[in-house]
């Protein structure tokens, strides 16, 4: 478990796509060019192997290499401050732990962990809590809970489960690709942003906090707007 785990800094995070050549090998020049373009755009962080990152089509070595290339490209071009969040979802606790360790070694600062969905009927609230806690206990870098029912056989973690997971010292955030704005509001109103980052993963959900941010500044410049911590993509209200 990572010592003194803190959430990722607030700001704009972009899910990177992954490129292959005609032989279906990693297209290294294209990957590096894409990463550099994102960094030059001013993003706070890059999500590698999110749902756009082709993780399900990669070997363990390829997943690790994609993270390493991203970190190398950022560092070589003066973007050391850009944060890497790495998707480490797998269908077993053991494999997920391994992917978290690989991500840390390759240069990621955080892991984004999907809930296994092969046997959704067996994923009771107790089993979901145990899975994420076991992974977080073993991960050398902080973890985040990735709630994306479309790719986990309909498993949709509610705000109570995510709120319980937020109490773990090495679980520092969540990405809500479920599109439920009520869940986002419940989490941001009950879990301190200094300990747990709540990222909307759908653009129409993230638009609400941005609208409230603008209105709050017009009405009271010193008042902090309620809303999401950050986003993929989104910005912190405040």
Q: Are 70 and 46 in contact (CB under 8 A)?
A: yes
> What's residue 51's pLDDT?
78
Q: Give the Cβ contact number of residue 70 at 10 Å.
A: 30
pLDDT in tens, the chain (238 residues): 777 689 999 999 999 999 999 999 999 999 999 999 999 999 999 999 987 888 888 999 999 999 999 999 999 999 999 999 999 999 999 999 999 999 999 999 999 999 999 888 899 999 999 999 999 999 999 999 999 888 888 889 999 999 999 999 999 999 988 877 778 888 989 999 999 999 986 655 555 544 444 433 333 333 333 334 445 544 343 3
Q: Which domains does the chain have, with CATH numbers?
A: 13-219 (3.20.20.70)
Closest CA to 205 of 226, 228, 186: 228
Quote the DSSP letter at residue 147.
E
Cα-flanking dihedrals φ and ψ of residue 78, to 5°? 80, 20
83 forms beta bridges with 45
Q: CA-CA distance, 62 to 184, in Å (whole number)?
A: 33
Q: Are 13 and 47 in contact (CB under 8 A)?
A: yes
- What is the set of active-site residues? 175
> What's residue 147's pLDDT?
92
């Amino acid at each position: 478990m990572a010592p003194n785990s803190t959430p990722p800094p607030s700001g704009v995070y972009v899910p990177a796509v992954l490129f292959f050549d005609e032989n279906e090998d990693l297209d290294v020049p294209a990957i590096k060019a894409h990463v550099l373009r994102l960094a030059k755009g001013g993003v706070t962080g890059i999500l590698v192997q999110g749902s756009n990152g082709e993780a399900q089509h990669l070997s363990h070595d390829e997943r690790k290499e994609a993270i390493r290339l991203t970190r190398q490209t950022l560092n070589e071009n003066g973007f050391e401050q850009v944060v890497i969040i790495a998707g480490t979802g797998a269908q077993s606790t053991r494999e997920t732990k391994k992917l978290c360790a690989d991500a840390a070694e390759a240069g990621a600062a955080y892991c984004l962990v999907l809930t296994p969905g092969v046997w959704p009927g067996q994923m009771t609230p107790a089993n979901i809590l145990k899975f994420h806690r076991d992974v977080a206990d073993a991960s050398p870098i902080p973890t985040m809970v990735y709630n994306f029912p479309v790719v986990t056989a309909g498993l949709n973690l509610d705000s109570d489960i995510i709120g319980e997971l937020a109490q773990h010292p090495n679980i520092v955030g969540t990405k809500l690709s479920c599109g439920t704005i009520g869940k986002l509001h419940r989490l941001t109103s009950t879990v301190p942003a200094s300990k747990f980052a709540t990222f909307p993963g759908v653009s129409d959900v993230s638009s609400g906090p941005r609208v409230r941010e603008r209105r709050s500044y017009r009405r009271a410049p010193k008042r902090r707007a309620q809303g999401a911590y950050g986003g993929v993509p989104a910005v912190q209200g405040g």
